[in-house]
Amino acid sequence: MSSIASELERGGFVALLHGNADPDALASAFAVQSCFPDVTIWTPGGTDRMAKEMTRSLGISLSESEERPPGTLVVLDTSGPEQLPPGIDFSGAIVIDHHTRTDRWSSARTYYCDDSKSSCSEIVIELLKVAGKSVPKEVALALMAGILTDTGMFKFGRPSALRAFADLMETNGVQMDEATAIVHMDSDISERISQLRGAQRLKYWKIGDFIVASSQGSAYEASVCKALIGLGADVVFVGSQRGDNFRISARATQEMVRTGVHLGKLLGGVGSETSNGGGGHPGAAGITGVGDVEAILNISVESTIKLLKRVADGLPGDG
């Protein structure tokens, strides 16, 4: 960590984020940009709706150009290179992540992964402390938003996330309503329609006392997952097809996680099996790549069913 901090002090970095970057990724990059010299935030795959609102409300400067800005890469909150545009040379890059550790970053010069953290924002907070940096209030608000979203408003938070969040509140005089206001967004009509269509296209399987569900759509995969969990599913996979490429989001209840389900590892295995990139957290993960989304959904469901049958038989989960 101190070595990374020393490098960043030299400046001239490009903070690269995964496609459809979320608040945790954006907050991590904003903190690095604000506290170290000459850092450009590069989001060639764009940002999600909540991150866009953060960009506006906090005045974050970033580049969404397909052309790479000049500088050394520091890749943040990205579980694997497949989440980034093809053709990027990572040989000189620093990678900072909190997802399941993977060998897919073997080409990077420095790979720092702490999968005990609920969010990448927590790692960046530690990085700033090691570097002796004070955190401006706008950066504190962003980091708090990153923690809130990646912990599902603390439903999936670990003690370290609560401590980091409380420290930011106390040090910067931030009230809880100020932090939650940044991540509060009403669903627009298109998102609600996607949720309804996801329910229409729902398939489900009952394994003992567990329910696994899958669906297909064209947008808002993560939001549709949450809606289907709300309908009563224990594990959900929602996918979309865009030409030859597909994208799948997955969610599991905390009860499933406690029984041994780890969606990040499960989709990591599916990714290896299908030559695609998958990974994430125990209760929230994704997989992207080239192929038929229905086939990948079926493989994901089959892997989950095998896992849950082991759990139902009293055997330890292995994914």
pTM, rounded to two decimals: 0.80
DSSP letter, residue 283: S
Q: What is the pLDDT of residue 100?
A: 84
CA distance 227 to 202: 11
What residues form DSSP beta bridges with 15?
Answer: 41, 74
| Cα–Cα distance list, 156 to 96, 179, 214, 255 (Å) | 21, 18, 22, 11
pLDDT in tens, 93-121: 999 999 988 888 999 999 999 999 999 99
pLDDT tens digits, 162-212: 999 999 999 999 999 999 998 887 777 888 899 999 999 999 999 988 999
Amino acid 272: pLDDT: 87
- Say what the pLDDT of residue 252 is: 94
In whole angstroms, give the CA distance from residue 317 to residue 4: 36
DSSP state of 79: S
Domains of the chain: 2-183 (3.90.1640.10), 190-312 (3.10.310.40)
Q: pLDDT below 50 — which residues of the chain? A: none
208/222 Cα distance (integer angstroms): 26
Backbone angles phi, psi at 246, to 5 degrees: -130, 165
Distance CA 202, CA 212 (A): 10
92: number of Cβ within 10 Å: 11
The token pair that represents 168 in the structure block: 């930011």
Inter-axis angle of helices 159-172 and 137-150, nearest 10: 160
What's residue 281's pLDDT?
83
Rounded CA-CA distance 67/16 in Å is 12
- The arrangement of strands across the sheet holding 203-207 comes to 203-207, 210-217, 235-242, 245-252, 284-290, 277-280
Calculate the alpha carbon distances from 102 to 39, 79, 105, 162 in Å. 26, 8, 7, 26
DSSP state of 92: T
